[in-house]
A and B are shown apart, each in its own frame.
Chain A
């Protein structure tokens, strides 16, 4: 059919349609090729291979992810790595280490026993849950565990402050040490609050940011207060 057209048109206007008959596709040649779009088809292979890889690789991968998030907290930029791949290992490690360092003496001692391990643990997790629920009720778009992850990771500066306080207390417990501890704790508290705000405030409607920031401020204030009033037994 195309060849007939070509010869007919060729008779009418020869220079224009001269090579038209050469262009026609004969029906003898089947059209073939691959229509599928390669979509990173390595992922099924990866899933199978993570079961077979040595345990060290799995642990190192998780540790690297946790370490990367720590770096994100210490230098809070507007990256979404903390939110995208949330995990609760970092918060658990930080919470346990902070609770261990904050642990006071036994409750029978004459002075104030200081917060016990369970108390600190419960305060951190219960406080984080309350803040998350509050931000969700205020219309936030962040998920429950993402928020827990961010709040837990932002306890890192306060854990560093606790370490510094313990070292300073080893040196002495006078007024100078109190002033040093006060400055360190206040700086770390501001850092924690700013870091968590940088991650969480974007998920809120813009005119309600203050309503979400206040409970975070209160939460880190209570933790900072526990750190500042810690006295070694």
Chain B
């Protein structure tokens, strides 16, 4: 029984080789039987062997996915080594190890409690942070505090999706290969996650003191200005109004993010790189959102392409310049007034 005792006291690594061969169905591996570990004292009845074999088979299937990361030791216990009690203990241990691994993996990846601390907010805090996201801080010599919270940014991204949907519908945007909803969600989430990651990477290069969650939170709250601007300008179609909002509200939220980042970065070049990139991306995104899904764009595109031009022909056509200019202007006027 010394073999069994040693096995019980040892780690799962001792049985790692066995599991590996069990998964392979015993077909691979050497035929060497480790005589030390055989249990000679227990009788081996046919019923025992049959039951053992059945349990082994069941555990094989379960272990196949759970024991993926097991070490591969050279130790091998032949199939004939499992008689009676030793076999049962081994099978038991395998089952326990497999179950432990599976539940560890499950609790690590499928546990939403990892995100729980980031959602620990009160409504009044969310409201304050929304308002503060439009107010640039003055003190940039002292690192500003950023709340690592994900509820506000997530809700703002979903609100932006809803506003974008509204804008796309009212401008009769035609999406050929894809859906309206898919495009809206893809754009907003792609911006939030993608630009956050990119700026975090730049911050890592420029030695800025900011974590990923803080960056996600900062950029998310910066989308509040975007939401307000787009909500107003998708309903009131004045170009000059949009530009005023773009500079005013977009500028304020960008200034806030830039000030917070500057307060956490040392060195002029680094500050310039980080903040220049962020402000460019943020402002350009607002510009893109306004113009990509706006009614007027359709009209402009039509006039730029001109009326249906027939393919190039060898016979020169005599089209007077004046009449085509008149045609273009008329179409432009009609598109703007329709």
Contacts and interface: CB of A to CB of B under 8 A. Distances in A.
Interface of A: 107, 111-113, 115-116, 119, 122-123, 130, 133-134, 136-138, 207-208, 210-211, 214-215, 218, 221-222, 225, 229
B327 interface: no
Given A115-B180, A116-B179, A138-B151, A218 B159 contact: yes
Given A112-B174, A137-B115, A137-B119, A211 B179 contact: no
Nearest to B176: A107
Contacts of A215: 155, 158
Interface in B146-202: 151, 154-155, 158-159, 162, 165-166, 169, 172-174, 176-177, 179-182
Closest 5 CB pairs of A and B: A137-B119, A210-B123, A119-B179, A229-B169, A119-B181
Contact of B162 (A119, A133, A222, A229): A222
B123 A207 contact: yes
Interface in B84-138: 112, 115-116, 119, 121-123, 126
Nearest to B123: A210
B182 A119 contact: yes
B317 to A, nearest CB: 29
A127 B164 CA distance: 16
Q: Give the interface centre of B158, B165, B182 by most chain A CB atoms within 10 Å.
A: B158
B173 A208 contact: no
B126 A211 contact: yes
A218 B227 CA distance: 14
Given A119-B179, A214-B155, A134 B169 contact: no
Contact of A211 (B121, B169, B180): B121
Contacts, number: 58
Interface residues of B, number: 26
B86 to A, nearest CB: 42
Contacts of B121: 211
A108 to B, nearest CB: 8
Contacts of A107: 176-177
B119 A123 contact: no
Nearest to B168: A112
A98 to B, nearest CB: 14
A221 B179 contact: no
9 contacts: A112-B169, A112-B180, A115-B180, A119-B179, A134-B151, A137-B115, A208-B122, A211-B123, A222-B162
B156 to A, nearest CB: 11
Contacts of B173: 112
